[in-house]
């Protein structure tokens, strides 16, 4: 999963380490003080050469400026290497290209690179130390800042909300929306919450049959109307059924639509007015990359969503959609679909994803 993006980030880390190692060699690493040796000025004081208290402070701006020549000279004297902006330029340029090729949205790629640069520029290390930990920490911090936007505890929100909780699913046709609803029914049942399904996709031929098959397999009640019926009325009826039968969660399907389908978008707005769902989830394919990011933004603009579910994440070598959607929309990715089975649905954990991308987990 996300193998290309993982390789991209690994290459960046190697490039920065290589640049730092070359710089360390130029700084004369063989003659650097041992890690436990005090800096030269401290050693002099320890040998009895007391500092002159009347000595004037240097007026050389380069020496006083922590970003100038003085800092470099002081660091070199202590056997340290300063990571400068020019050291990162080529690795960052290569990273930007690779991120874009991995379907990371342009502004998101820029934000990641800015975060890495802010973390690394001006950092110092001993010549004898590795740059790896500095780079990994910078990558981790920058990636988490982007991926974690809008995250909230979905399970806690559902558990603590008044019942029934109404969850409506939206997105374009063919991305696995109905199957995701069935997976969510299993997800809730495993957590002790009962569900009822509502087929608000009243326009598509075969929609009733598809969701009815899932309901039968799961042993879950389905509320549906004839084809061409009012989607808001279907979901409203499901809410009434849930209230009458102490069902915890209503899972409402809607017709696949594009933001340009004004009639269908009006229907979605009507569902929100009539039913007032507690959570609206946007569903798309992880493999759709930047198309998924664009659609998520368009749906959020047209009818605000609370989060996203990305299907086919197990087949996504790029990872761009998972990286980009939260930052672009301000709404989190909450679940990943990782297969065809009802149990193939995983809570999205930004820290887990960053561990994957950094190679800290298999």
pLDDT tens string 258-273: 655 666 677 778 888 8
| CA angle, residues 241, 244, 248, in degrees to nearest 5 | 75
Q: What angle separates helix 350-358 from helix 3-26, to the nearest 10 degrees? A: 60
Q: Phi and psi for 203 in degrees, rounded to 5?
A: -100, -30
Burial of 99 (0-12, 13-18, 19+ CB in 10 A): buried
CB neighbours of residue 301 within 10 Å: 11
Mind listing the domains of the chain with CATH numbers? 3-41+61-147 (1.20.120.140), 154-349 (3.40.50.300)
pLDDT in the model for residue 44: 45
Give the span between the Cα atoms of 204 and 56, in whole angstroms: 83
Q: Which residues of the chain have pLDDT under 70?
A: 20-21, 23-83, 85, 87, 122-132, 257-264, 360-362
HEC secondary structure over the chain: CCHHHHHHHHHHHHHHHHHHHHHHHHCCHHHCCCCCCCCHHHHHHHCCCCCCCCCCCCCCHHHHCCCCHHHHHHHHHCCEEECCHHHHHHHHHHHHHHHHHCCCCHHHHHHHHHHHHHHHCCCEEECCCCCHHHHHHHHHHHHHHHHCCCCCCHHHHHHHCCCCEEEEEECCCCCCHHHHHHHHHHHHHHCCCCEEEEEECCCCCCHHHHHHHHHHHHCCEEECCCCCCCHHHHHHHHHHHHHHCCCCEEEEEECCCCCCCHHHHHHHHHHHHHCCCCEEEEEEEHHHCHHHHHHHHHHHHHCCCCEEEEECHHHCCCCHHHHHHHHHHCCCEEEEECCCCCCCEEECCHHHHHHHHHCCCC
Give the span between the Cα atoms of 299 and 310, in whole angstroms: 15
pLDDT in the model for residue 198: 95
pLDDT in the model for residue 327: 92
**β-bridge pairing 279-285 and 80-82:** unpaired
pLDDT tens string 7-45: 888 888 787 777 766 766 665 544 444 444 454 444 444
Inter-residue contact 323 to 146 (CB < 8 Å): yes
């Amino acid at each position: 999963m996300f193998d290309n993006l993982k390789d991209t980030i690994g290459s960046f880390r190697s490039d920065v380490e290589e640049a730092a190692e070359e710089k360390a060699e130029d700084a004369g690493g063989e003659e650097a003080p041992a890690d436990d040796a005090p800096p030269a000025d401290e050693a002099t004081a320890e040998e009895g050469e007391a500092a002159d208290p009347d000595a004037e402070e240097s007026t050389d701006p380069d020496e006083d400026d922590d970003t100038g020549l003085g800092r470099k000279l002081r660091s070199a004297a202590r056997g340290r290497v300063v990571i400068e902006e020019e050291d990162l330029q080529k690795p960052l340029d290569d990273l930007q290209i690779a991120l874009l090729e991995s379907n990371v949205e342009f502004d998101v790629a820029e934000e990641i690179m800015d975060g890495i640069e802010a973390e690394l520029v001006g950092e110092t290390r001993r010549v004898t130390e590795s740059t790896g930990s500095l780079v990994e920490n910078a990558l981790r911090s920058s990636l988490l800042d982007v991926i974690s936007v809008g995250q909230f505890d979905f399970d806690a929100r559902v558990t603590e909300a008044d019942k029934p909780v109404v969850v409506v699913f939206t997105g374009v046709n063919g991305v696995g929306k109905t199957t995701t609803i069935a997976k969510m029914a299993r997800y809730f049942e495993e957590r002790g919450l009962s569900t009822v399904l509502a087929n608000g996709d009243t326009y598509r031929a075969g929609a009733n049959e598809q969701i009815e098959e899932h309901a039968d397999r799961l042993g879950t009640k389905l509320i549906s109307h004839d084809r061409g019926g009012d989607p808001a009325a279907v979901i409203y009826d499901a809410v009434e059924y849930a209230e009458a039968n102490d069902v915890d969660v209503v899972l409402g399907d809607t017709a696949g639509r594009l933001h340009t389908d004004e009639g269908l978008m009006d229907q979605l707005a009507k569902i929100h007015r009539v039913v007032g769902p507690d959570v609206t989830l946007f569903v798309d394919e992880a493999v759709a990359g930047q198309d998924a990011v664009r659609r998520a933004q368009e749906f959020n603009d047209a009818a605000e969503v609370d989060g996203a579910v990305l299907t086919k994440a197990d087949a996504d070598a790029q990872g761009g959609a998972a990286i980009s959607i939260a930052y672009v929309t301000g709404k989190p990715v909450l679940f990943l679909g990782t297969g065809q089975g009802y149990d193939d649905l995983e809570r999205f954990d930004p820290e887990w994803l960053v561990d994957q991308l950094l190679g800290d987990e298999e």
